[in-house]
A and B are shown apart, each in its own frame.
Chain A
């Protein structure tokens, strides 16, 4: 700790930080633009000017940039000094000389960091009366709007997009006051994290295009703290609703998980909530729905759970049908993999690292999981982890970590090691030190050999790959090695070999090893914790087919995504009655005898368990007005059931849910019985917004179960960030206000809640057996499943914005395989002759013998396929085409 004096007051500071960070951490207001808590300082904007004095004798002082000055012990500075204030006002004034002043029509208005800083620095009158510089804007795809005239040239966009997120298609162009930030030519921004530009840009250059189409001011949005339902990472988000529709999603700070950034699936993949196809309670059944439901509340029903439904809903179904008759909603292979993941999650040798902890790794191996497409936020964290080498180097050279450009220049391309074992090139290849390409069986061999090289006790597996020793060496020698895998490739052996490798490391190093096993859906782990190991979906379908279960309840799940289509059809047609609860129509809902509408993630309060086993609560943002209820409510025996009593039983159900007890703040914690408003104190039009329907102002709906109210009244969360939807603080209307809620910038939230880890690590286990049966040489190609960030998520794929980025099912082949099969780029093939058609993508880096199969939105029944497939050319048929495909190794000939 060091002491600095700021305007005569002494503060304890961390000397490893710079003065701007410390001013903000200590609650002082100091304007800035180019600095960002996650991206450090570059000193471009000159907005954070303060006066620094040599010592207490010095009365003149010098103007310095707080962000570029270390918070060294004994530093004396002044924010309020007249010259410093004048400097900051001048900076704003000159940033504004060409700014269009179009706040009234700008999407950023009301949450604009530039507006805030302008006010804060006191500039209020434009003296500039000369010609402005204007720019031409670019089409950047369906997600992001471009309005360069608003640019203040802080360089944050390119520093985020290129340096932080690894994008390659956005850059600074031209120079002096013509500096331009854009793509080389118009076109879709390729990065999977492009949406963060909306939040990174301090003004309205990059705005949310989908939001613009049904725009509302920040203060007019009803919000609540929520959890992204896009994948199993569990990023924290703030959805905003107006006039009954969900308008947008923005990042919500969580120091352990997403920090300041989410991915584009999370940001743009929500608007299925507003879909006109949402299942409604049909008038015919609404009268006797209770009676119809009663039929299912008997002993001979079975229930099939859902990895995308909440713990509460899965638990209510399990209570209804009984533990033994509650079945997994995952495919059988996923179920096995996730059960193994859960078992490993209780193993004392491992730790499941949070996203933030992933960033701390200094040697990583990824085994068979394409994280960018399955758990995107994890991929973004891995990008940061490889910079630990640079950080170490900087420390040795006494360059502070916040000197962003200096640290990058020092390290150049040198990074911490990252090995990727993958069947096809991935979007992290650019930061990899080793890329081992091959069909899945070979990759398992390589990973197994690495484990063996680290510990003699590991199962004997050998590989001819000459990189094995190298990879083993750096994992063994790293400060904090990390193993990443998951079940999305449909190969449990990837997880097994990852666990063995982690165990080998744990033995060799005598310490707990970071083992990150991703989870595909928002509550994959939560549902699986409630499911008995033997209760597979296959078993359920068999039971139905054998007539042992005549009544079937399917919770928020399209079984056609989980099992071979003929099996599902066969079973569902055998059942006497089928109750399906869901949000949108699926092939499964078509078969329902009773179809009930379920609320979406933003329409109910519930808990979800992410890949780490971290339970988090997601609050209700808005009401559903078409009769949907949370599934748990439909399923409860007692229709008067409330979520608190349900939660109490869940906590006691001996499935490791004790931790969620403290997650949901109870109403009685609220100050003097007042709830916390979901609407901002500036929320406008409340009394008039329904005037087109009825001039009588309705009573605000009452939320009896939550600490949040559907109202502007109440006590806002203040400094308590536990229940913080949209952050706001006086003078800070933009998302940068979050620093007012943090212990220190980029640190924990004051009284914040980062969720609860549910799994106890109290077991110890041994190596797992891996069967290395190389697929039969029947001339078939070994299948490796491919996922697409835009398309593979069941619900997000229904969002309009994401659909504009989706592609047809395809099959990636090596050039040699394509040639020997007489196939060329773009041909259509049928797979194993079962009628499933995919387009051929020839990829230069794929290894012979691999077929990288992307199934589209379940257009291909891959559960019906074996480990190897045969392809046959058929007449071409294309729907979306492959124009949105972003792969680095596309074989180009003929295009």
Chain B
């Protein structure tokens, strides 16, 4: 029988990994409501997959019985849920006021030049995605940025050159 006799979007769901399921089930113990776990599940999937694909979204929707529209609604609201693939290293670059006063614009241009990418873009080698982030709460050490989980402070052009070199070489943790 032809597949399109019955429309079903659920077939686009991928299978959640055992680890993902385990972690999502853990979250279910912490919140009295599934909807809260929906956002947690998005973060869990992103932690393991790097980003949240349509297939992942469908999988979470199926697993938690939350409409996929509701998931999309929150996924697109939050800054740190990625609905597009990102590079191995996500640079979260603070461009809020203290960093701006301390010259983050020039650091930013330097990164633009070195990596050939602007905010929202991923470098051709897939190593870096460059994103702006609101004040990182480290303003006395401005300008600052995060790469993955690590915070880098008092940035200078030289420091950026160094960091790029290190992260180019390093393997992604997962």
Contact = CB atoms under 8 A, between A and B. Distances in A.
A175 B8 CA distance: 29
Contact of A171 (B6, B57, B72): B72
Interface string B68-88: 111111001100000000000
Interface residues of B, number: 23
A2 B86 CA distance: 60
B150 interface: no
A881 B72 CA distance: 29
Given A882-B6, A883-B7, A890-B8, A169 B1 contact: no
Nearest to A172: B73
B11 interface: yes
A184 B5 contact: no
Contacts of B4: 881, 883
B1 A174 contact: no
A895 to B, nearest CB: 5
Contacts of B3: 895
A826 interface: yes
B5 A878 contact: yes
A262 to B, nearest CB: 24
B69 A827 contact: no
Contacts of A892: 8, 10-11
Contacts of A885: 6-7
Interface in B30-72: 33, 54, 57, 67-72
A824 interface: yes
Interface in B95-149: none
Given A876-B1, A892-B11, A825 B6 contact: yes
A183 B1 contact: no
A183 B71 CA distance: 11
A170 interface: yes
B7 A183 contact: no
A159 to B, nearest CB: 13
Given A827-B1, A876-B1, A895-B11, A169 B69 contact: yes
B6 A890 contact: yes
A172 B77 CA distance: 9
Contacts of A890: 6, 8
Given A825-B6, A884-B7, A890-B6, A170 B69 contact: yes
A592 B7 CA distance: 41
Interface in A134-193: 168-175, 180, 183-185, 187
A743 to B, nearest CB: 38
A825 B1 contact: yes
A826 B8 CA distance: 13
Contacts of A174: 76-77
A885 B67 CA distance: 17
Interface centre among B1, B5, B7, B67 (most CB of A within 10 A): B5
Contact of A883 (B5, B11, B69, B72): B5
Contact of A839 (B5, B70, B72): B5
A882 B72 CA distance: 27
A169 B77 contact: no
Q: How large is the interface on A (under 10, 10 to 19, 20 to 34, 35 or more residues)?
A: 20 to 34
A184 B77 CA distance: 13
Contacts of A825: 1, 5-6
A185 B9 CA distance: 10
Nearest to A826: B1
A788 to B, nearest CB: 14
B77 A841 contact: no
Nearest to A181: B73
Nearest to A176: B77
B30 to A, nearest CB: 17
Contacts of B2: 826
A60 interface: no
Contacts of B76: 173-175, 180
A174 B78 CA distance: 8
B32 to A, nearest CB: 9
A412 interface: yes
B62 to A, nearest CB: 9
A878 B3 CA distance: 13
Nearest to B62: A892
A885 to B, nearest CB: 6
A175 B5 contact: no
B74 to A, nearest CB: 9
Given A168-B70, A173-B73, A183-B69, A824 B1 contact: yes
A175 B6 contact: no
Contacts of A180: 76
Nearest to B3: A895
Contacts of A895: 3, 6, 8, 11
Contacts of A883: 4-7
B108 to A, nearest CB: 21
Contact of B69 (A171, A175, A412, A882): A171
A884 B8 CA distance: 10
A882 B8 CA distance: 10
A171 B8 contact: no
Interface centre among B7, B54, B68, B70 (most CB of A within 10 A): B7
Contacts of A173: 72-73, 76-77
A878 B4 CA distance: 11
A839 B5 CA distance: 10
A501 B14 CA distance: 47
Contacts of A169: 67, 69
A207 B98 CA distance: 47
A184 B1 contact: no
B65 to A, nearest CB: 9
Given A173-B72, A824-B1, A841 B6 contact: yes
A171 B11 contact: no
A843 B140 CA distance: 61
Nearest to A168: B67
Interface string B1-31: 1111111111100000000000000000000
27 contacts: A168-B70, A169-B67, A171-B67, A171-B69, A171-B70, A171-B73, A172-B73, A173-B73, A173-B77, A174-B76, A175-B76, A175-B77, A184-B57, A184-B68, A826-B5, A826-B6, A878-B5, A881-B5, A882-B7, A883-B4, A883-B5, A883-B6, A883-B7, A890-B8, A894-B1, A895-B8, A895-B11
Given A839-B5, A881-B5, 8 more contacts: A168-B69, A169-B69, A184-B71, A185-B9, A825-B1, A882-B7, A884-B7, A890-B6
Interface of A: 168-175, 180, 183-185, 187, 412-413, 824-827, 839, 841, 876, 878, 881-885, 890, 892, 894-895
Q: Which 8 A-B pairs have the closest CB atoms?
A: A826-B1, A168-B67, A171-B73, A171-B69, A883-B7, A826-B5, A184-B69, A173-B76
